[in-house]
Amino acid sequence: MTQKSEPAMVPENAEIAVPVAVSDGAWAAALPQCRDIAKRAALAAARPRAGPGPLEISILLAGDEEVRGLNRDYRKIDATTNVLAFASGSEPPAPQAARLLGDVVLAFGTVRREAHERGLEMADHLAHLVVHGVLHLLGYDHQAVSDAEAMERAEAHILAGLRIADPYADHES
């Protein structure tokens, strides 16, 4: 039986680094501010929840095929998905070094398609999925209904702080 960790808290003044890499140029072409959106969303999700800093969260804005390959290799699911989160679980190499919380990887084509199908601004959908991925790094999941509801409430609260509408307002968990 696996033990589920409780999400932790991080002080408001904790240092959090969020490097954002773009491996699919379609992100910058469609959404020139994609790096800033991703970083702002990651910070909003991590700051009140991540434990003692300094921390680092890496974000990769990738293409569908790259995400499909990662999903296949690490989750044994040969399909693309909108976001993957890979928690580090490791301690920093030195006492003052940043603790790598993990990596969040997003698939451009899937994110763009979902935003279009749902009538969402792509920037808002990107922010939502980054928040979702960071919450996974922090120990949230959505396997059980009660866990999914808690995660959705956390996402909606964080997104409200970013002035983004609740993506779950029109459906039940």
pLDDT in tens, 118-164: 999 999 999 999 999 999 999 898 888 988 899 999 999 999 999 99
CATH class name, domain 16-161: alpha beta
Query: What pLDDT, on the 0 to 100 scale, is given for residue 94?
Result: 64
Provide the whole-model pTM: 0.86
Average pLDDT, the chain: 87
Query: What pLDDT, on the 0 to 100 scale, is given for residue 144?
Result: 85
Query: What pLDDT, on the 0 to 100 scale, is given for residue 55?
Result: 86
Where along the chain do its domains lie? Answer: 16-161
- What SS3 class is residue 104? strand
Q: Look at residue 172 and tell me whether its pLDDT is greater than 60.
A: no
What is the CA angle 161-142-104, rounded to 5? 65
Measured CA to CA, the distance from residue 57 to residue 23 in angstroms comes to 17
